[in-house]
Chain A
């Protein structure tokens, strides 16, 4: 495996070593190691059923691997509940939009601020003083995200009625609201048209460059991956078959066979 030049001067944010995950005998991920560097955009690609989503689920604590270690910011991570992962700075979006359907765009993104809000029941009940200040401060932050994602016009609309592309954008906004160190994006551009894809790519790049957020994303559109990603890891049937810069991965015979060759 070639080592990309970045590795030397960027700190490792997350590394997985020999991670294996199985469901009742079926191996979803077998013995995979790779790392994510601070500030990079890391893509995870592979054909359907390659274990990409399981990988994200392992990273944010939704699944617990049977074997292997996960090191997050230099510390080995024990079994971790998803909410703890969230608190430690990992956010994500979902393949099938998992928004809070009963809430508005604004509330959905506000929901992403949950961890940043601390005021207790007493102040919440009165909704004055600290609780309100906190609410307003977070609202301001959320408004900046709304501005960033250019969704001001749907601010007060219930998300259930929004077109798919906008829902994905709201979901990204919700994850952004957590101000994560690592943002996991599960097929952020699935089902989008070209224009929406371009917008989304722009947001991802801006997010990465403006806020320095590290991003790990799963994406099918190879063109998008090649444009966005700093480094790419390729999975197939739960195993890692390539890891490196987009160019390197693209030229790997194994990848061409397993992934591009299959065609889909």
Chain B
């Protein structure tokens, strides 16, 4: 374990000596990539910091940082931290009211904003923010009319710093000394979690949390000062804070800020990062656009693409994992790399990626494997703000789409009886800001933290997250019933749109399936299957047959895992109508309203737990013009043979 320095600004100072001429930050601005090396960054930060202090920033003050990924906003962190004040990054896309809560709760005295838009937002709520004294901004456009006392440009703050340095040469030394004296266990940032329910909570992280986590993470993936990464995720999100700020400081690698959110793809291609993070939806979106684009390609090219993707599917991951592969396949793959994978990675800007992570939610195994088969070292990690991100991560070469990896260095893991995952690590947060109650709920006195997720550790020692802990139910035989886990597994099939699983307090698991009309209709067309309506298509025997195969597939998966082996799907039906937000079956964000579905389709659910092979149902629906009507249908119920569970697994459970 490397001996750590006492604070993040201290790392900045170290880098300014050790990597003085290496590029610390790039920003595409006015058409070109502007670069700052570490000593320049240190200088910028120093002037910013000294100027900020002159504005009245002092120990313990909270400073909100609002905006997208801009160098100056990143510099605001160490500038503030070296004054022993605490930066509080805020989601830039929040509306004024949300911001008001955070700023008010944190009691921010200052705010650092990116541009006029953010400044205007804050000014619109300033009467409700008595603590807010001044706003510092980056981009001067449109700012000339504002009160120069209250709204100050960062450049002006830096000039202020310059003036002070001019007057008093020692101030630089004093500032450096002060940085050296920062305490490692002091709070250094408050990150507000965007809680899905209730008010956001301010997670207080100490320097030690972040520094130790960063050291561990860098060591885990062998990240050093040669890495390049592109910063495009929200500043206020812990992931960006760690990847683009703390890990960069600790390792000394460069961070590149894109020109704007519209140009991330292009900018990523220009930079070709070596270390890259994106949430699953980004990878999903990219894959979809790849596929859509390839549909427009010429026949030969399309054939070639699909051919080589197949090749990659066969041997790509094994080659990436450095397993033994026969020379012919290796050559075949090499060819594919020349014709398809290489150019593809090039277009995606991932040619140089050494380590790419995805996290946040489950990623479809096919999507995950697709990228890996191209030779991109995409891995999953499992983390939380409260853990300074890392709880588990997949080590190189031990990758499985269904797991989130082994515990990260210095992280201890345990699974509660109810299946909830608990952890303890150097990154564990200090507590929620001004919310001891919540802190006590989440963090045990001996430092263990509740994740709120249910999961289990498989034979290989990898953690599998199956669901939110509170949603996990129990079958009558005592087996675990993780509905989301099962639903997600089915939903990864492209022709399944929505799944609702039942089983809590029942003998076995059964599911409602909603087919994906576009995908299935496409399939029907290709196979000359005639149908008049969604209902007819949904009830088509061949569709049932397909769904049965999917279910079997999922069952096989489930059967291989002791903890969930008993949650195999025994019966299923394909719903005769699409679950619809207009009918109240889905939320407006398209999440299933379980309760409502349970009530509405009670007959069907009961039928699933009987011997019936079909069930008549009549449902009231709302048409697009607002009128209501009824749909009558007789829905077929299918039974699936369960997969045998291996004995040793049974015993293990």
A contact residues vs B (CB 8 Å cutoff): 106, 139-140, 143-144, 146-148, 150, 152-153, 155, 206, 209-210
Contacts and interface: CB of A to CB of B under 8 A. Distances in A.
A231 B32 CA distance: 41
Contact of A146 (B30, B141, B144, B145): B30
A152 B142 contact: no
B611 interface: no
A210 B31 contact: no
A152 B141 contact: no
Given A144-B30, A146-B31, A210 B142 contact: yes
A152 B144 contact: no
Shortest Cβ-Cβ A-B pairs, 3 listed = A143-B30, A143-B31, A153-B262
A206 B142 contact: yes
A78 B546 CA distance: 83
Interface of B: 29-32, 141-142, 144-145, 259-260, 262-263, 266
Nearest to B30: A143
A106 B31 CA distance: 10
Judged by DSSP, the binding face of A is helix
B293 to A, nearest CB: 18
B262 A147 contact: no
Contacts of B263: 152-153
Given A153-B263, A206-B141, A209-B142, 13 more contacts: A106-B31, A146-B30, A146-B31, A147-B29, A147-B30, A148-B141, A152-B31, A152-B259, A152-B263, A153-B266, A155-B31, A210-B142, A210-B144
17 contacts: A139-B31, A143-B30, A143-B31, A143-B32, A146-B31, A147-B29, A147-B141, A148-B141, A152-B262, A153-B262, A153-B263, A153-B266, A206-B141, A206-B142, A209-B142, A209-B144, A209-B145
Most buried by A among B142, B145, B263: B142
Judged by DSSP, the binding face of B is loop
Most buried by B among A148, A153, A155: A153
A206 B142 CA distance: 7
A210 B262 CA distance: 25
Nearest to B31: A143
Nearest to A154: B262
Contacts of B259: 152
Contacts of B144: 209-210
A139 B32 CA distance: 11
B40 to A, nearest CB: 20
A170 B481 CA distance: 59
B386 to A, nearest CB: 37
A210 B141 contact: yes
Contacts of B266: 153
A144 B141 CA distance: 10
A150 B142 CA distance: 14
Contacts of B141: 147-148, 206, 210
B203 to A, nearest CB: 34
A210 B142 CA distance: 7
Contacts of A147: 29-30, 141
A153 B31 contact: no
A140 B142 contact: no
A149 to B, nearest CB: 11
A148 B263 CA distance: 16
Contacts of A210: 141-142, 144
Contacts of A155: 31
Most buried by A among B31, B141, B144, B263: B31
Contacts of A152: 31, 259-260, 262-263
A140 B32 CA distance: 10
Nearest to B144: A210
B30 A140 contact: yes
Contacts of A206: 141-142
A143 B28 CA distance: 11
Contacts of A144: 30
Nearest to B142: A206
B141 to A, nearest CB: 7
B232 to A, nearest CB: 14
A210 B145 CA distance: 9
Contacts of A146: 30-31
Contacts of B30: 140, 143-144, 146-147
B24 to A, nearest CB: 23
A152 B264 CA distance: 12
B38 to A, nearest CB: 26
Nearest to A136: B32
Contacts of B262: 152-153
Nearest to A139: B31
A152 B32 CA distance: 11
Contacts of B31: 106, 139, 143, 146, 152, 155
A231 B572 CA distance: 72
B30 to A, nearest CB: 3
Contact of B260 (A139, A148, A153): A153
B305 to A, nearest CB: 26
A198 to B, nearest CB: 14
Contacts of A143: 30-32
Nearest to A143: B30
A124 to B, nearest CB: 22
